A and B are shown apart, each in its own frame.
Chain A
Amino acid sequence: MKLKNDQHSLESLSKEIRKTMINMGYASEMAAHFGGALSMVEILASLYGEVLNYKVDDPRWIDRDRFILSKGHGVLGFYATLYVFGFIGKEELDSFQKNESEFISHPIMNLNYGIESSNGSLGHGLSLGAGVAMSAKLKNQDFNVYVMLGDGECNEGSIWEAVMFAYHHKLNNLVVIVDRNSMQNDGESKDVMNYFSIEDAWKGFGWDVRSIDGHSHKELCENLTPDKSVDTPRVIIANTIKGKGVSFMEGVPSWHYGKLTEKTFKKALQDLGGEHNEY
């Protein structure tokens, strides 16, 4: 599935991704990371529906754009996206959080499924992405590298090592999206570790900073493609709502990691536009 310039379809795709996530999470009969996965749905829909170059039938295509989910706990949204866009099937979704499954609470690298790296420990993906972006430069390849970070993840010092590196090496083929849902494990980010200004922090390191509505497909699509006529890497500060789309999860820190009951499962689906028990 590959769409171009169809905002209406991106909206319906985002809805499909959310419904798929809720079904997956409920079917696993276990707690899952809902909040930070729901916040990044429009970003994923815009990337896979509009921005990224890839071939579903050839996920190892050498010139594909690379997407690295550094905030690995958002994987529920990632699996749902990979399903909606045809990289994985129902069998894989059904194995979510089942014993010995590859589809667990954090991504396990498998290029056949379009999963570029194993993540889970925060603060790793940007360095990895910078290395991949550098490789494209060294080999004169045209693809772009997209790395999704959480704003809480930016507490990690290793992020800023990579930020310096990408600027110094002029990695203008590297786009970082910070899913700024303003919450993290222990509560609101302003209470856990307050930034004076996350935009100014990235600007100070020389990056091209775009602070946008992270739930607007239009704003996302306008900003996600890098400008190769400039030398600087780009960061998109995507202002989002944790738990977006499910009324009782929105802005509620405890839904960072929570378990759906039959009642809350039904309510979540209702919020997303009615019953949807099939994926």
Chain B
Amino acid sequence: MNINESNARLWSKFGPRAVYGQAMLELAEQSSDVLAMSADLSLPSGLSSFSRKYPKQFINTGIAEQNLIGVSAGLAKEGFIPYVSSFAPFVSMRASEQIRMELGYMQFNVKVVALGSGLAMSFLGNSHYGLEDIAVMRTIPGLTIVCPSDCIEVIKVVRAAAKHKGPMYIRLTGAVNNPIVNTTDYEYEIGKAIRLRKGDDIVIVSTGSMVSKSLDAAKILAKKDISVEVVNMHTIKPLDVKTLKEIVNSGKPMVSIEEHTVVGGLGSAIAEYLTTLKKKIPHKIIGLKDEFGKTAEYDHLIKLHGLDGSSIAQKVEYFINSNK
């Protein structure tokens, strides 16, 4: 899969789930140890082609997420690299204790792919939204958690996960016509944040779908002579504390943004780290409200929750002024 501007546009139209399926095809071509597993959701996982082309590397467990994790662990125990996918709440919460025992405690090399996390499932409603998955997964010791910023980064993450030894939770956010953050190839390393934009007045640290929204906000604020640094914190665990420490040392205020409840997500992880430092900076957590909210089209929901570029810009400007 060639990473370039024209493919970035194409993949953006497909959305992260379809691109995940494409990236898995590439992996399966390279290694027969890679397996794609699904709990009766191969189509929404973008795995239809995969299941036809590599039937021996595709395993369906039926609608049984606990067994999905358990079986994947058994396969990983014997050397396979299973990627298991389901909608975010089903895999992170229905099978939460399987992830804790088999992936956390026993450290089996399984990659859990959470589909349509955040609000992307739109009219399927709160039952399908990934509101709390980072919070739940983050408390399990030994689990690496990543949240790619766009479709190109989905590919980068799928590739990196195959080389990374150990269990991972890969959180896919955003829908079809997913905004583009990256247009050219770049170095992607699990646990190493990417500075996308330099700025002097404030730093926005965001993850997943919120990276592009943060860039939008930065552009809006630039017109008001507010200079915003944007950091893509694609890895939520282990947190890139080196980058965070640099931000703290710079003395700039920080806003963290995530398409996840404000309880227990990226913002909480950053706040926990900040308590360990002597030097203090103002930090604001922006995310979804701690509630089961209304159901609507995805873009509508993003605006409703104040997570579109202009809403973020307003909040950031207010935060800067209130800290002057």
Contact = CB atoms under 8 A, between A and B. Distances in A.
Interface of A: 109, 116-118, 120-121, 123-124, 126-136, 138-139, 157-158, 161-162, 164-165, 168-169
B67 A165 contact: yes
Contact of B67 (A109, A135, A161): A161
B75 A135 contact: yes
Determine which residue in A123, A138, A139, A169 has the highest number of CB atoms from chain B within 10 A of its CB, and name it.
A138
Contacts of B98: 124, 127, 158
A133 B101 contact: no
Nearest to A116: B77
Interface residues on B, range: 20 to 34
A161 B101 contact: no
A210 to B, nearest CB: 23
Contact of A162 (B67, B79, B105): B67
Interface string B259-299: 00000000000000000000000000000000000000000
Contacts of B72: 131
Given A117-B106, A118-B106, A135-B80, A165 B66 contact: no
Determine which residue in A131, A132, A139, A164 has the highest number of CB atoms from chain B within 10 A of its CB, and name it.
A131
A165 B75 contact: no
B100 to A, nearest CB: 8
A96 B74 CA distance: 27
B64 A164 contact: yes
A260 B17 CA distance: 57
B245 interface: no
Contact of A131 (B75, B97, B101): B75
Interface in B38-74: 56, 59, 61-62, 64, 66-67, 69-74
Contact of A128 (B61, B77, B80, B97): B77
A84 to B, nearest CB: 26
A205 to B, nearest CB: 12
A128 B62 contact: no
Contacts of B67: 127, 130, 158, 161-162, 164-165
Interface of B: 56, 59, 61-62, 64, 66-67, 69-80, 97-98, 101-102, 105-106
Contacts of B66: 123, 127, 157-158, 161
B70 A131 contact: yes
A121 B97 contact: yes
Contacts of B56: 138
Given A131-B71, A158-B66, A161-B62, 17 more contacts: A109-B106, A116-B77, A128-B71, A130-B70, A131-B70, A131-B76, A132-B75, A134-B59, A135-B75, A135-B80, A136-B78, A158-B98, A162-B67, A162-B70, A164-B62, A164-B67, A168-B62
A129 B66 CA distance: 13
A1 B74 CA distance: 28
A235 to B, nearest CB: 16
A134 B75 contact: yes
A7 B238 CA distance: 55
A85 B212 CA distance: 61
Q: Which 5 A-B pairs have the closest CB atoms?
A: A131-B74, A127-B70, A161-B67, A135-B78, A161-B64
A215 B2 CA distance: 63
B105 A133 contact: no
15 contacts: A117-B77, A123-B66, A126-B70, A127-B66, A128-B73, A128-B77, A130-B67, A132-B75, A132-B77, A134-B74, A135-B75, A158-B98, A164-B62, A164-B64, A165-B61
B71 A165 contact: yes
Given A138-B56, A162-B67, A124 B74 contact: no
A157 to B, nearest CB: 8
A224 B73 CA distance: 25
Contacts of B70: 124, 126-128, 130-131, 158, 162
A168 B67 CA distance: 13
A124 B61 contact: no
